Amino acid sequence: MISNPVTGASYLLRGLSLIGEPGVKRHVVIPLIINILIFAGLIWLLAAQFEVLLEWLMPTLPDWLAWLDSLLWFIFAITTGIAVFFSFTILANLVSAPFNSFLSAAVEKNLTGRSPISEVGFMEELVKAISGEIKKMLLFALIALALLIITLIPGINLIAPVLWIIFSAWMLSIEYLDYPLGNQGRSFPEIRRAIQQKRLLSLGFGGAVMIATLIPVFNFMVMPVAVAGATAMRVEQF
C-alpha cells in the first residue's frame, strides 16, 4: 500500500469513474436531484421576495434612477451565485448524509462483491447520518474558531494560511472517509485515529477534494465523486 499525498489525490479521479457503475448511479442521482430542487426553490423564493422589494422601492425613486432596477438585479444574481457556491457543500452534505452511506456501500459492493452493511431502515440511517454530520460540524467549528484566533494574532498569523489549507484538507478527508469507515462499524473517534495513521494519504485526498470544490459547476458533483473515491481508498489502503 502506497501512502502519500499523490496517491490520496488520485482517488478523487477514481471516484469519478466509479459513480457511473451499475448499482451505483441511482445513489448519485437521487440526492443530486434533491439538492438541485432545494437550491432552485430557495433561489426562486429569494428572487420573488427581491422582486417585491423592488416593486416597493422603485416607485419611490425619481425617473432618472430607473436604471437602478437592472443594476440591483445584476447585484442580486452575483450575490446569489456566490452564496450558492459557498453554501452548497455544507447544505448538500446535510441533505445527502443518509444517502452517502448507501452510496459508499454500493461502491464497495461493486469493488469487492459484498456489501459492508446490513439492510437498515432509511429513517434509522437518516437519524444516524444527520447526528453524525452535526457532530462533525461542531468539531470543525471549534477548530475553525481556534484558527480564526490565530489569524488575528500578529506574527503568528503569518502561518495562518498554511494552517487553514491543512485544516480544510483534513476536514474534507474526515467528511468523506467517515462514510466507508462508518459502514465498517467504526465510531467517530476510531475513524479519526484511522485517518491519523494514514495522514499523508488522507491529506492528499482531502486537498484534491478542496481544489475540486473551487471548480464552478463540477463542485455540484464533488460530493458523490468524493464518497466513491474515499470508499475505493478505504478498500485498498485501510
Distance CA 12, CA 35 (A): 21
pLDDT at position 128, please? Answer: 65
Among 110, 87, 126, residue whose Cα is nearest residue 15: 110
Distances (CA, A) of 219 to 20, 95, 112, 215: 17, 16, 28, 6
For the chain, 238 residues long, give each residue's pLDDT as a single digit of tens.
566 888 889 999 999 889 888 888 888 887 778 777 777 787 888 888 888 887 887 777 777 777 777 777 787 777 776 666 556 666 666 677 778 888 888 899 888 888 776 545 555 665 666 666 677 777 777 887 888 888 778 877 788 888 888 888 888 888 899 888 888 878 788 888 888 889 899 999 999 998 888 777 777 788 889 999 999 999 998 8
Which secondary-structure segment (H or E) carries 11?
helix 5-18
Q: In this structure, which long-range contacts are made by residues 208-213, counting pairs with CB atoms below 8 Å and at least 24 apart in sequence?
A: 208/8, 208/9, 208/10, 208/11, 208/12, 209/12, 209/169, 209/172, 209/173, 209/176, 210/165, 210/168, 210/169, 210/172, 212/12, 213/89, 213/172
What integer pLDDT is reported at residue 114 of this predicted model? 81
The pTM assigned to this predicted structure is 0.74
Return the pLDDT at 232.
Answer: 93
Q: How far apart are alpha carbons 200 and 234 in whole angstroms?
A: 14
* Residue-level pLDDT at 229: 94
Are 101 and 117 within 8 A, CB to CB? yes
Rounded Cα distance between 130 and 39, Å, is 19
pLDDT of res. 205: 94
